[in-house]
Amino acid sequence: MELWYTEDQNNILRFSYRVNQSLHVEKTPFQHLAVLDTVGFGRMLVLDGIVQTTVWDEFIYHEMIAHVPLNTHPNPKKVLIIGGGDGGTAREVVRHPRVEKAVMVEIDERVVAAAREYLPELSVELDNPKLDLRFTDGIKHVAASRNEYDVVIIDSTDPVGPAVGLFSREFYSQVYQALKEDGLFVAQTESPLFNTDVLARICKDVGAIFPVVRTYLACVPSYPGGLWSFTLGSKKYDPLEVKPEIIPALGYRYYNLQVHRAAFALPQFLKEALGQG
């Protein structure tokens, strides 16, 4: 008997992963949660039927969402992570030597519980003394913060379900206020190929609030089409002017100085869609 898990993309494309066994399935107060042990990609976290991460390729997404903003800011002492319940982003943030404190705000405690039990490679630093883990609404936390964070990382699910408010212009304004005067934030902003309009709208919204707005890309095999976008809004520092001497040697698997710079080179169709053509 073979077990397969299939992710459906709008009934036009499906990704199927052969599964050794289903380790955990539950309906949380916020979403459907599953952890599968796949043959090709190790353990996999699935929320509302969408693959969030796999042990095999998670390093790409987590290094790129964490180290690009952390190394853009010369002194990212205090960091806020919104979402990121699997722990992968927190793991990358707390190992950065200039981070003194990271607050992680995850709305769904059950995701963290599942990660602690089934995804030790990702959740390994969730008890790190630098990390303050809170289970509450990231939007409310941000709205209650003023001039507090050097870096905010929005590691959310897609803009449907619990994460939809994290993609709004109003939320980006609240993030602006939560940041210190030289702060910056980054958010995962979907596929530049399948969700070009979403990305273009986000860039416009962020650009209306932050003086510096930059989109960068990485190829994440377990996301549809591979190509994935992140959008960075900054009050002062430009990620294109990253200083090589401040990048700590952390044994990265994907990230390095060249990758940091190259990630901001956008394909021509995307430059044009974002009004940079």
Concerning whether 155 is annotated as a catalytic residue, the answer is yes
Interacting span for its own copies (CB under 8 A) from 12-20, 127-135, 136-144, 172-180 = 12-20
Residue 52 CB, nearest approach to its own copies (Å): 17
246 near its own copies, judged by CB under 8 A: no
Q: Which of 57, 108, 150, 155 is catalytic?
A: 155
Our measurement of the distance from residue 25's CA atom to the centroid of its chain's CA atoms, rounded to an integer in Å, reads 23
Residues 193-232 interacting with its own copies (rule: CB under 8 A) = 193, 217, 219-221, 224-227
Q: Burial letters for 232-264: b for 16+ Cβ neighbours within 10 Å, e otherwise?
A: bbbbbbebeebeeeebeeeeeebbeeebbbebb
262 near its own copies, judged by CB under 8 A: yes
Nearer to its own copies by Cβ, of 159 and 225: the residue is 225
Q: 52: burial class by Cβ within 10 Å (0-12, 13-18, 19+)?
A: buried
Phi/psi of residue 31, nearest 5 degrees: -170, 170
Contact with its own copies (CB under 8 A) among 117, 211, 271, 275: 271
162 annotated to a ligand binding site: yes
Phi/psi of residue 37, nearest 5 degrees: -100, 105
Q: How many residues bind its own copies (CB under 8 A)?
A: 46
190 near its own copies, judged by CB under 8 A: no
**Site of interaction with its own copies (CB under 8 A):** 2, 4, 6, 9-18, 38-41, 57, 59-60, 193, 217, 219-221, 224-227, 252-256, 258-259, 261-269, 271
